[in-house]
Amino acid sequence: MSHQAQFQSAIAQMHQVVLGQSALIDSLMIGLLIEGHVLLEGPPGLAKTTAAKALSDSVEGDFQRIQFTPDLLPGDLTGTEIYSAKNERFDYVPGPLFHNFILADEINRAPAKVQAALLEAMAEHQITVAGKRYDLPEPFMVLATQNPLEQEGTYALPEAQLDRFALHVQLDYPSAETELAVMRRVRERDFQKVEQAVSKEALLAARDEVKAIFLSEDLERYLVALVCATRTGHRYIEQGVSPRATLTLDKAVRAHAWLNDRAHVEPIDIQTMLFPVLRHRLLLSYQAMADRVTADDVIQDILNSVVL
């Protein structure tokens, strides 16, 4: 079975578990392919946790869910050194970050020191305890969730940490037909089991294949022009995105083309991935908030104004 066929098998299995969330499943796979972390935002009960668990089940690796709370400490993520009376020394006990797939549930409920510890893990794939550095396992992917409706007891994520998420996926309520199907499945306890479909070797090979996807010079310039348009004085943008957005978008459009069985990038790949790559990186102005303009509205305006 080809590497692409393995991924398609994993996607098909995830669709059997997570109904009506195609964009979510595709985004998780793209994040996996580009070695990126994914931020999932939406009201409770939209299968964010289920999707994260299904992804880890379909790919070789282990899964760990961490519930973020206001009283969480950095050591609760990284682990800590504990004194051993028997050995008369401090021994390091690894924390829950030492897994391949980390679900950071309600990430915005934890304070700044915890976010700093997680940021090091996301950015460097390592953690530091008592001045010693420890490498995290590969692959290492953080899937974080946050509820946009509830603000009490939450901490806004710093811009530097938001920028470390490759993709920001916004989830909405399912259609009536999808919700009916979910209700019947739960009532009948018809739960699908996700089997491993992608090995670590296949994942590494697939990442190399994604890097080889062809992106023409015209589309390269189009991609960069879209990113640069966020920095040219748009009335609703306080601060444009960094070059990290350009690099992430370049990877994401190639992964999107690869998943769609194409050896080259097309404009639709760029136009589709522009939203999840940019929406959490744009700093909107007060005027945008006053006019109830969202990041997606601004991105659509940029798409309409930049001509290929």
The three-state DSSP-derived secondary structure of the chain is CCHHHHHHHHHHHHHHHCCCCHHHHHHHHHHHHCCCEEEEECCCCCCHHHHHHHHHHHECCCEEEEECCCCCCCHHHHEEEEEECCCCEEEEEECCCCCCEEEEECHHHCCHHHHHHHHHHHHHCEEEECCEEEECCCCCEEEEEECCCCCCCCCCCCHHHHHHEEEEEECCCCCHHHHHHHHHHHHCCCCCCCCCCECHHHHHHHHHHHHCCECCHHHHHHHHHHHHHHHCCCCCEEECCCHHHHHHHHHHHHHHHHHCCCCECCHHHHHHHHHHHHCCCCEECHHHHHCCCCHHHHHHHHHHHCCC
pLDDT value of residue 63: 92
pLDDT value of residue 187: 84
Average pLDDT over residues 158-186: 88
pLDDT digits 0-9 by tens, 68-123: 998 999 999 999 888 888 877 888 899 999 999 999 999 988 888 898 899 999 99
Q: Both tokens of residue 242?
A: 């960094």
Q: Where are the domains of the chain?
A: 214-308
> Which residue in 107, 164, 165, 98 sits closest to 136, CA to CA?
98
pLDDT value of residue 147: 76
Average pLDDT over residues 148-164: 74
Its CATH class, for the domain covering 214-308, is mainly alpha
Arithmetic mean of pLDDT over the chain: 90
pLDDT value of residue 77: 94
- Residue 1: pLDDT band (50, 70, 90) is low
pLDDT digits 0-9 by tens, 246-272: 999 999 999 999 999 999 999 999 999
pLDDT digits 0-9 by tens, 267-307: 999 999 999 999 999 999 999 999 999 999 999 999 999 98
pLDDT value of residue 150: 63
pLDDT value of residue 295: 95
Regarding predicted confidence, which is higher, 146 or 230? 230
Neighbours of 144 (CB within 10 A): 26
Residue percentage of the chain with pLDDT more than 70:
98
pLDDT value of residue 306: 94
